[in-house]
Amino acid sequence: MARAAIPGRLAWRVARLAEARQETETARTLVFDVPDWPGQTAGQHIDLRLTADDGYTAQRSYSLSAPDRVELTVQRIADGEVSPYLTDVIGLGDPVELRGPVGGWFVWRPGTERPVLLIAGGSGIAPLMAMIRARRRSGDGTPFTLLYSVRTPSDVYFADELRRPDHGLTVALVYTREAPDGWPRPPGRLAPADLAHLGLAGDCFVCGPTGFVEAAADLLVARGHDPRRIRTERFG
Amino acid sequence: MGIVSPGFHGRRRKSAAELPPGQYLTNDFPVLSAGPTPRMREDDWEFTVTTETGREHRWTWREFLDLPAETPTVDIHCVTKWSKLATEWEGVSLDALLADVETEADFALVHSYGGYTTNLPLADLVEGQAWIVHRYNGEELAPEHGGPARLLVPHLYFWKSAKWVHGIRLLTDDEPGFWESAGYHDYGDPWREQRYQGD
Ligand SMILES: Cc1cc2nc3c(=O)[nH]c(=O)nc-3n(C[C@H](O)[C@H](O)[C@H](O)COP(=O)(O)OP(=O)(O)OC[C@H]3O[C@@H](n4cnc5c(N)ncnc54)[C@H](O)[C@@H]3O)c2cc1C
């Protein structure tokens, strides 16, 4: 009898920066060329490794923000070791090492047929953007709602893309510090009222800093969402 | 040495030598869970050990607190790369909980309130290597860190230290848990960097 195939080791691959775009003042989207990249499911992440010229290394995890290429969206953490290198230092053609894709739980696949609620806090939009793009690319008709919490209007990642009409996708922004002029909701943290109009059926994906994810997941459970249908990814 | 990323210098940590490969030191206590935090009342809490023959051993919260307490100070290593040194816990050794359990099993599947599971060899739960802890840093264990009580198996990656622990099933055959079914390593030794299947 054939046994289930044992997957091979997730090998480190050399990735070269092919494209970079400033998302906001503190965040950058980076696209890497990775020979023989095996592909990914929307929501998965990679491990990235940097090596200094004396052999010192540092590793961190980053979500893939696209479903079909090695694209990362990184927020600069002011006193961070790895993120400032990715947002401010690395240049086109420079190599890093990465391995993946990793994670078989915080993923969305076209054809799942249940409505989807995405809740992002800040850079937590990255893996959710991969899901939004996977849905659009596959022509999947599943209704998606994105609730995206940002500090100010200039902190919205993928702002142009999220503004473009995408049939079946509803985007609602929640500003926590400063809202655009005339915005009906006063700035403030995600609150029960922000979820009041949303349906209870379907799958929820919540991603962002731990405090945000805890608060958002608690709000969902309090509203009566089935906890087993709430998947979370915490960034730190 | 791997490929050098030009212009990367890194922040040298004094203690890097004490850390498993690929880990960095944090003073925070990050949270990793796959879903919402279950909220359990201690009065409703129960811990069960079920043997391979189906025999059940049960403890209520009160009965659990009556067992001899230990205060392990241990280093913990999360697969998401952070390590935290000399963390202080209080709880009951698995040796005490398993003292009257008769079993021939080689494996354990730990299960939690909220549905989480994780598997490990039974040998890794005994001989002073594992505890069910209910206090951290002199205080009640916070729900997001696994309160009322969690498993603590510090010599393996921290996902093995199941939060909101509810019970342990002793098994003759290994059965993968939640992350172990989702591409993570079956055993998870941080010193051998066993993060993912095949590592
Ligand atoms: C599965 C997973 C996916 C992730 N995906 C992304 C992603 O898509 N984009 C992204 O930008 N980050 C992501 N992260 C976070 C990322 O791995 C790093 O933690 C982050 O870039 C900081 O690393 P650093 O080396 O710059 O900072 P470090 O040197 O590690 O930390 C410096 C200081 O900043 C604090 N800190 C660490 N992380 C954060 C944070 N996220 N917010 C605020 N403070 C922090 C630390 O506690 C420390 O005090 C992800 C993390 C995980 C576990």
pLDDT tens digit sequence for B32-72: 888 889 998 999 999 999 999 999 999 999 999 999 999 99
* Minimum distance, in Å, between the CA of residue B36 and any CA atom of chain A: 5
Q: Chain-wide mean pLDDT for chain A?
A: 94
Residue B27 pLDDT level (bands cut at 50, 70, 90): confident
Complex confidence, ipTM = 0.86
Residue nearest to atom 33 of ligand 1 (CA): A80
pLDDT tens readout for residues B158-181: 999 999 999 999 999 999 999 999
* Minimum distance, in Å, between the CA of residue A166 and any CA atom of chain B: 28
Task: Give the dihedral sign, CA B108/B114/B115/B118.
Answer: negative
pLDDT at A104: 86
Q: Which of B165, B158, B168 is nearest to B91 (CA)?
A: B165
- Whether residue B142 lies within 8 A of chain A, CB to CB, comes out as no
Q: A218, B3: Cβ pair inside 8 Å? A: no
Q: Which atom of ligand 1 is nearest to the CA of A235?
A: 51
Mean of the pLDDT values across residues A27-33? Answer: 98
Residues on chain B touching A32 (C-beta within 8 angstroms): none
The alpha carbon of B194 and the centre of ligand 1 are apart by a number of angstroms equal to 21
Instruction: Report the residue among A32, A44, A77 best suited for mutation to probe ligand 1: largest number of ligand atoms under 8 A from its CB.
Output: A77
Give the list of residues 6+ apart from residue A19 with CB closer than 8 angstroms, or none.
A30, A31, A92
8 Å CB contact between A209 and A235: yes
Q: Report whether pLDDT(B14) > 80.
A: no
What domains lie within chain A, and their CATH numbers? Answer: 8-102 (2.40.30.10), 116-235 (3.40.50.80)
The alpha carbon of A235 and the centre of ligand 1 are apart by a number of angstroms equal to 6
Q: B8, A85: Cβ pair inside 8 Å? A: yes
CB pairs under 8 A between A and B: 119
Kindly report the number of other CB atoms within 10 A of residue A130's CB atom. Answer: 26
Q: What is d(CA B142, CA B150) in angstroms, rounded to the nearest whole number?
A: 10
8 Å CB contact between B47 and B61: no
Instruction: Report the residue among B12, B19, B26, B157 best suited for mutation to probe ligand 1: largest number of ligand atoms under 8 A from its CB.
Output: B26
pLDDT tens readout for residues A184-228: 999 999 999 999 988 888 999 999 999 999 999 999 999 999 999
- State the CATH class of domain B24-28+44-192: alpha beta
Give the list of residues 6+ apart from residue A165 with CB closer than 8 angstroms, or none.
none
Q: B4, A230: Cβ pair inside 8 Å? A: no
In three-state form (DSSP H/G/I as H, E/B as E, the rest C), the secondary structure along A194-229 is HHCCCCCCCEEEEEECHHHHHHHHHHHHHHCCCHHH
Q: Report whether pLDDT(A1) > 50.
A: no
- Whether residue B198 lies within 8 A of chain A, CB to CB, comes out as yes
In three-state form (DSSP H/G/I as H, E/B as E, the rest C), the secondary structure along A53-122 is CCCCEEEEEEEECCCCCEEEEEECCCCCCCHHHHHHHCCCCCEEEEEEEECCCCCCCCCCCCCEEEEEEH
pLDDT at A2: 38
Q: Which tokens belong to A211?
A: 């405090």
Give the list of residues 6+ apart from residue B26 with CB closer than 8 angstroms, or none.
B82, B83, B84
Q: How many residues does chain A have?
A: 236
Q: Which of A108, A165, A188, A183 is nearest to A140 (CA)?
A: A108
All structural domains of chain B with their residue ranges = 24-28+44-192
Task: Give the dihedral sign, CA B186/B190/B196/B199.
Answer: negative
8 Å CB contact between A99 and A47: yes
Instruction: Report the residue among A62, A81, A210 best suited for mutation to probe ligand 1: largest number of ligand atoms under 8 A from its CB.
Output: A62
Q: B5, A6: Cβ pair inside 8 Å? A: no
Mean of the pLDDT values across residues A144-157? Answer: 97
Residues on chain A touching B144 (C-beta within 8 angstroms): 210, 214
Question: Residue A49: CB within 6 Å of ligand 1?
Answer: no
The alpha carbon of A62 and the centre of ligand 1 are apart by a number of angstroms equal to 8
Q: Which atom of ligand 1 is nearest to the CA of A103?
A: 1
Query: Radius of gyration of chain A from Cα atoms?
Result: 18
Q: A218, B81: Cβ pair inside 8 Å? A: no
